[in-house]
């Protein structure tokens, strides 16, 4: 049989630790504080361009090797094309200033 706890009498209401309204974290000082992550030192546009370049390399490889674009794998080049197109959409989004964590203040 369970022993009643000192903080809650048997059959009494359960209590929750106090929380900060903005973060939902407990206000207990013994709880370690989580530091906010810092933006990466690289430009986001550079990362997106590298991703587009990798998709382009994957497209060239899938078109150069016949076994990678025939029969059941006929959709592989199209997934590379989709990656390139979505990469350019993401690039235009980041280039306009949105989604760039280092510039968001």
Give CA separation, 66 vs 24, 54, 55, 58, 94, in Å: 54, 19, 18, 13, 35
22 band by pLDDT with thresholds 50, 70 and 90: low
Determine contact, residues 61/69, Cβ cutoff 8 Å: no
Q: Residue 23 — pLDDT band, cuts 50, 70, 90? A: low
- Predicted confidence (pLDDT) per residue in 25-75, tens digit: 555 667 778 888 887 788 888 999 999 999 999 999 999 999 999 989 999
- Whether the full predicted model's pTM is greater than 0.75, yes or no, is no
Residue 54 confidence (pLDDT): 98
């Amino acid at each position: 049989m369970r022993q009643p706890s000192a903080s809650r009498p048997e059959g009494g209401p359960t209590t929750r630790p106090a929380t900060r309204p903005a973060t939902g974290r407990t206000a207990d000082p013994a709880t370690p504080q989580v530091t906010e992550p810092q933006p990466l030192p690289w430009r986001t546009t550079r990362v997106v361009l590298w991703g587009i370049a990798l998709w382009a390399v994957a497209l060239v490889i899938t078109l150069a090797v016949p076994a990678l674009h025939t029969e059941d794998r006929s959709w592989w080049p199209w997934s590379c094309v989709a990656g390139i197109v979505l990469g350019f959409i993401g690039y235009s989004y980041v280039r306009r200033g949105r989604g760039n964590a280092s510039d968001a203040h």
